Chain A
């Protein structure tokens, strides 16, 4: 017997027993409907998997419906070309309708954008930033780890933006070498794309376009490259971010903005009711 198991365990000895016992104490005969017990579950094929579901499944209590939506922008912001699978990517064709849903869904009152990204497609990033910027609902961004390149327009598109004290933002120019796929690779074209990024950031922050351009082309900060690495408070001092903070600050700010929006709407409703009287 034990050589069947190989380890000398008792499993092999008892193995025939359940097979025999199974026929005797299987729950199937218990479930056969007897005429004396009305209301008994009929032994249909459907009821067997249904009863199995209730056997060993542990469920955590359902969380209360949240009134904020969290959007994590991670990895590469993926644009018109599907990136190879080694990239972690944020797909803009999914994020954009999600933003529509957030704006439209009455149960969602605020948006928290958490960024830890290495950049990505310029137009996809700008599209997400333009969508967030034009939302009427309160939005707060939180840059953690790193929010590089095209992540900056996305971060500054929110109404209130926070950066962790050790998080970094890399500002660098758009590159000509090999970064252009399937478009006329002219310097003017690239310059125009770069101006769009600069314009968006300058319009939504306290930084001037000239200062931002200077950060992009600063030498001596990056190895073998031009650009600037801004750590936490640097980004705040330059006016790119509103404050250094973390999760609790972000949620507190968002809740405050939601309360203000509610109060504002109540005021408008009161005024309208007054006008109607």
Chain B
């Protein structure tokens, strides 16, 4: 990866070694990768879909927050 930017590299990459955990969830039937930010909130990181129209959905834009509700499923 080559960064071509006017910003100093140490500013851009500060904290890149900090570990982040991403989870796969399904929102309205669309597979989405989220990063949990609190007990009941997560931020969308990316959409995993082969339907290009899913990427036009403003509610699924990366960076938008979603609420996580626990659900119980019998095994």
**Is the CB–CB distance between B1 and A121 below 8 Å?**
yes
Task: Say whether A118 faces chain B, with CB atoms less than 8 Å apart.
Answer: yes
Residues on the B chain within 8 Å of A172, using CB:
6
**Is the CB–CB distance between A98 and B55 below 8 Å?**
yes
Q: Within the assembled complex, what's the spacing in Å between the Cα atoms of A69 and B1?
A: 29
- Which of A80, A93, A104, A178 makes the CB contact (< 8 A) with B46? A93
**Is the CB–CB distance between B12 and A98 below 8 Å?**
no
**Is the CB–CB distance between A149 and B6 below 8 Å?**
yes
Task: Say whether A161 faces chain B, with CB atoms less than 8 Å apart.
Answer: no
**Is the CB–CB distance between A148 and B6 below 8 Å?**
yes
**Is the CB–CB distance between B2 and A183 below 8 Å?**
yes
Return B45 CB to nearest CB of chain A, in Å.
7
**Is the CB–CB distance between B4 and A105 below 8 Å?**
no
**Is the CB–CB distance between B1 and A80 below 8 Å?**
yes
Residues on the B chain within 8 Å of A91, using CB:
46, 62
Most buried by A among B1, B7, B13, B14: B1
**Is the CB–CB distance between B20 and A82 below 8 Å?**
yes
**Is the CB–CB distance between A76 and B12 below 8 Å?**
yes
Residues on the A chain within 8 Å of B18, using CB:
84
**Interface flags, A173-212, vs B, CB<8A=1, else 0:** 0100011111100000010010001000000000000000
Q: Within the assembled complex, what's the spacing in Å between the Cα atoms of A81 and B14?
A: 13
Task: Say whether B74 faces chain A, with CB atoms less than 8 Å apart.
Answer: no
A190-B2 CB under 8 A given contacts A82-B45, A98-B52:
yes
Return B70 CB to nearest CB of chain A, in Å.
19
Task: Say whether B72 faces chain A, with CB atoms less than 8 Å apart.
Answer: no
**Interface flags, B8-23, vs A, CB<8A=1, else 0:** 0100111110101000
**Is the CB–CB distance between B4 and A83 below 8 Å?**
no
A122-B4 CB under 8 A given contacts A76-B12, A94-B61:
yes
**Is the CB–CB distance between B5 and A98 below 8 Å?**
no
Residues on the A chain within 8 Å of B54, using CB:
97
Return A258 CB to nearest CB of chain B, in Å.
18
Q: Within the assembled complex, what's the spacing in Å between the Cα atoms of A79 and B16?
A: 14
- Which of A105, A119, A183 makes the CB contact (< 8 A) with B1? A183
Q: Within the assembled complex, what's the spacing in Å between the Cα atoms of A14 and B2?
A: 67
Task: Say whether A215 faces chain B, with CB atoms less than 8 Å apart.
Answer: no
Residues on the A chain within 8 Å of B12, using CB:
76, 83-84, 87
Return A212 CB to nearest CB of chain B, in Å.
14
Task: Say whether B39 faces chain A, with CB atoms less than 8 Å apart.
Answer: no
Task: Say whether A138 faces chain B, with CB atoms less than 8 Å apart.
Answer: no
Residues on the A chain within 8 Å of B55, using CB:
94, 97-98, 100-101
13 additional A-B pairs beyond A84-B12, A84-B15, A149-B6, beta carbons within 8 Å, are A80-B1, A81-B1, A81-B16, A84-B16, A94-B55, A94-B62, A98-B56, A105-B56, A119-B7, A122-B3, A150-B5, A172-B6, A190-B2
12 A-B pairs with CB atoms under 8 Å apart are A84-B15, A94-B62, A100-B52, A105-B53, A119-B6, A121-B1, A148-B6, A149-B6, A178-B9, A181-B1, A190-B2, A197-B4
